[in-house]
Amino acid sequence: MPAVIVDQIAGNECFVIGRIPHTIWDGATREETSVSSLLFMETMIANRLKRVRQALDAAAANALLETHPPNVFYLSGFTGDSGVLLIESSSVTLFTDSRFTIQAREEARGIRVQVHRGSLLAAIGDYLRRKRRIRAAIAPSRLSLAGWNVLKKAAGKGVRWVAIDGLVDQLRAVKDASEIGRIQEAARVGSEVMEETICLVRPGVTELELAAEIAYRMRRKGASGESFEAIVAAGPRSALPHACPTARRIGKNELVVLDLGAILRHYCSDLTRTVHTGRAPSRVRRWYQAVLEAQAAARDVLRAGVATGAVDAAARGVLQRKGLGRYFVHSTGHGIGLEIHEDPRLARGQERLLETGNVVTLEPGVYIEGVGGIRIEDDAVVTPRGAEILTTAPREFLEL
């Protein structure tokens, strides 16, 4: 699904803003080895913790307080929805509540678990109060004002806080071979469900019925859920990039946009296809070809070392040359992984360079009010040689 870019600003004077070091992909092979998956997971997490500590060093911090559930999972394996992780130079502690005692011990192996009643932030603040010379990194964009007040009060004046957004998110943007394997599996399931759902598109079927089929078929294929609620939008509603499915019946001679994604073993996929009921007028075919060419242009420039903004410019340039630039109202793509929208963002003017191991969507589209919309979206791994496409559903224009 298309993402909206929001600039995040950390504006508290008492904070020190740190810098995040560059990360590199370890270049491991695609196959998980024959060692048990538990051991594999523990080794992987140990490597991630090492990189977090390097990033903390560079930011002049000696602890990280992590509250964002996908980051907690990434660094501990814990999947519960109540958990805060505290990473110090030589220890890691997971703070959770009594509903998760057994789960935390099972999932967060090798990590100390503290079970608390009441506010976890108050418990962590209290724990930090008893420590010396703590410079704790926190992400302002992940903390509510109420949470910050509780934490600050419990920790007292002895703790120095380092505001740093995106420290773990930056690490997560570069996927290792096992993560790419999982996204590929999610992309395969998403692609299969897409192909099956396209076979069900016909006049008289409602958007909601198709959305229900998508959710059901994903689960039947082993997905733990959808990456997001599927977008099924027909006719003039397809001009809304983030339309929610409705009880409206699909009509004859309409564009239908289907945008869906599966979650498999915690990792998301995201793909979009656009079809037409009946024979499409020539202008609609022209628009479709333009979007397809825009996507191919983005795919052709995607490789490690290229600026994310250059990928957006490649897609946008094609649509602009065809007079459709003003109808492309969102960015060209976004990272996918444990979350459906992650770094890096492929948006206008972005200077960040792509790295080997980034996994991104390529999803140009045109949206014409009162008529309809066309979007084509695939998932791609960034390699030194170019893009490796993970989604397999056919891209040619289907007139059903």
Nearest residue to 332 (alpha-carbon basis) of 347, 314, 310, 351: 347
381 binds Zn ion (CB under 5 A): no
- Binders of Zn ion in range 266-305 (CB under 5 A): 270, 272
391 binds Zn ion (CB under 5 A): no
**CA–CA gap between residue 206 and residue 234 (Å, rounded):** 9
Which residue lies nearer to Zn ion by CB, 182 or 375?
375
Going 166 to 168 to 170 to 172, the CA torsion angle's sign is negative
List, edge to edge, every strand of the sheet that includes 333-335: 342-346, 333-335, 359-362, 378-382, 387-389
207 binds Zn ion (CB under 5 A): no
In the bound complex, what is the minimum distance in angstroms from residue 265's beta carbon to Zn ion?
20
In the bound complex, what is the minimum distance in angstroms from residue 198's beta carbon to Zn ion?
15
Q: What is the DSSP letter of 98?
A: G
**CA–CA gap between residue 99 and residue 268 (Å, rounded):** 27
In the bound complex, what is the minimum distance in angstroms from residue 189's beta carbon to Zn ion?
15
Strands 398-399 and 342-346, sheet pairing: unpaired
Which residue lies nearer to Zn ion by CB, 96 or 361?
361
Residue from 207, 259, 339, 342 touching Zn ion (CB under 5 A): that is 259
Return the range that interacts with Zn ion (CB under 5 A); candidates 116-124, 358-366, 379-387, 391-399.
358-366
Quickly count helices (H) and strands (E) in the chain: 10, 21
Which residue lies nearer to Zn ion by CB, 170 or 269?
269
Instruction: Say if CB 290 and CB 366 are below 8 A apart.
Output: yes
- 307, β-bridge pairs: 353
Query: For the packed helices 308-321 and 282-301, what is the interaxial angle rounded to 10 degrees?
Result: 150
361 binds Zn ion (CB under 5 A): yes
In the bound complex, what is the minimum distance in angstroms from residue 372's beta carbon to Zn ion?
17
In the bound complex, what is the minimum distance in angstroms from residue 200's beta carbon to Zn ion?
19
Q: What mask, x for binding Zn ion by CB under 5 A, covers residues 310 to 349?
A: ----------------------------------------
In the bound complex, what is the minimum distance in angstroms from residue 334's beta carbon to Zn ion?
6
Which residue lies nearer to Zn ion by CB, 272 or 391?
272
What is the binding site for Zn ion (CB under 5 A)?
1, 259, 270, 272, 361, 377
